[in-house]
Amino acid sequence: MITNRRFAVTYSLLIALAALAGDAMTYPEPEQRTSYIVQGVTHAAVADLVRDHGGDITHELKVIKAVAADLTPAQLAAIRNDDAVKRIYGNGSIEVAGKPDKSGGSNGSGGNYDALDTHFPSLVNADDVHAMGITGDGVGIAVLDTGLWKHEGIKYDSNGNSRMKALYDAITDTTGNPLSGSDPAGHGTHVASLAVSSLRTPNGLYNGIAPDAHLISVRAFDETGQGTYADVIRAIDWIVSNKAKHKIKVLNLSFSATPQSHYWDDPINQAVMVAWQHEIFVVAAAGNQGPDAMTIGVPGNVPYVLTVGAMTDNYTPADGSDDVLATFSSAGPTREGFVKPEVIAPGGHMMGLTPGNSHLATAYPEFFTAEMYFEMSGTSQATAVVSGIAALALQAEAWRSVDELKCKIMSAARPAVTGKGKNLDLVYSVFQQGAGLVDALAAVTNQTVDCANNGLHIDNDIDGTQHFGGRANQQADGSYYLMEMNGYLWSDGYVWADGFLWTDGYLWSDGYLWSDGYLWTDSGVGMNGYLWTDGFLWTDGYLWSDGYLWSDGYLWSDSLTEMATMSHWVNQE
């Protein structure tokens, strides 16, 4: 039974991707300029082409060999069939959702919470890591969001040293004094405080997961939470280019959108893969479109990155027996058959710092406290928790590759099970909980490093010579399962239990590495001859169940404006 059911605010970032559909595209009125992302074989070639035709380049997106440009219909028609052009995307908008229904809302006090005790670090055993002297010291976390507020818990580490190392505004393409940054929206600060707050509870414990980690503020969303695809990609481009200068090791992406293509065709995903290729550990939100299957969003559907779902302590932080998976947490598999999310983390009614004059605090004052804490739920908050854990693990073992770190965090996770001894059963499918609830202590101390991204080849994926599919498949009755792994089945039989054990004793049978990948082929058959039978046609003329046709792996439908929410006002259990 779920107790203390109430509503808690979540921050909604929506992505509307307007895309082009070959010969079927509808052109704007003559001389009207529209923003497009033009991707080429090389960045230089496509930039020269756009300039030669009089286009106004607004963003240099070298990370994906592209530019964003304002083009007239005539200019667009002139460049679209040039050999230098690989793809053309509409520069989709990213924005905050409209005001949610506040019916059933709370007074924002956070139940019985002491506003200075966030509880979740203890839930994932981060307190035990802090006791070892590991606090994320020196590890740079880039928070790509709405900006960061200059609160003491954000600006300074636990020793009072400034940890704000850089500030970049992708909207204006400018850098600034990191100590002079702001967050008119409030979301970026909330997320960052969960990852790194150096404030202490009345018992002397830290509010954040990695209180001594460094912060790099990268703004791609404005004061109302709005932005564009081009701004997000430009932000990632800057992060990759400045990785060494600012010692960026972790990238937190707390936004998501419904996939409109294969993972390798989405331009944000392409930039994210380049970041991973450059050994930046990317942590992405699964999305808040659960509990249905196949609801993982972009960029969480990128197979390489660590994708995070959410659980809740059910408003009883001291009692783990009633912890549950959050019903809003998006579930896998992805369209390409990968298990997502890989892990889950606390993401319900999370208390984090937010400026009192921010959009969030003024729009939803019932969730704001006098101590500058704001209560929000979502996989964006869970993502921040895992970014903090990644920083802890990287302080302990800075030499670990991104694939090794992903394996360490996954292998340390504790799946939700029922039963005793060797008679254990999963409470939730691997497509809902992945490897389980993250454990900071086990992630730092365990030495399992060869269990993630095996069979994948990111260089080939980025250059387009190979793409990959996962092991998930679908049975005739609609349930999902993992090939070569008995007993791991998604069906409607998974219940939202009111109590279970987060165990570290569960054995994944035969050492099965369910993050492995198969080579994606035109025939849709994996390297071992497996046929995709989930109701989709894995062919050059791939037909989505919603009617979108993807010819040769890529064809944008005309004027597509699919709105996809990462977070929304959810019924909080």
Q: Quote the CA–CA distance of 193 and 153 in Å, as a whole number.
A: 7
Residue 206 pairs with which residues in a beta bridge? Answer: 200
Phi, psi of 509 (to 5 degrees): -55, 135
Helix (H, G, I), strand (E, B) or coil at 420: strand
The CA–CA distances, whole Å, from 253 to 140, 285, 306, 416, 546 equal 14, 7, 10, 25, 27
Length of the chain (residues): 573
Helices (H), 314-367: 359-363
Q: Please choose, from the candidates 560, 559, 540, the residue with its C-alpha nearest in 3D space to the C-alpha of residue 551.
A: 540
Active site residues: 145, 187, 380
Q: Which residues 6+ apart lie within 8 Å of 26 measured at CB?
A: 558, 559
Q: Which residues 6+ apart lie within 8 Å of 108 measured at CB?
A: 364, 365, 366, 367, 368, 369, 375
* Tokens standing for residue 312: 């809740």
Q: Quote the CA–CA distance of 281 and 129 in Å, as a whole number.
A: 20
Q: Quote the CA–CA distance of 42 and 51 in Å, as a whole number.
A: 14
Q: With contact defined as beta carbons under 8 Å apart, do 207 and 201 qualify?
A: yes
Q: Quote the CA–CA distance of 42 and 59 in Å, as a whole number.
A: 15
With tokens 């010969």, the residue in question is 23
* DSSP codes of every residue in 493-527: T----S--EE-S----GGG--TT--EEE-TT-B-T
Q: Which residues 6+ apart lie within 8 Å of 366 measured at CB?
A: 102, 105, 106, 107, 108
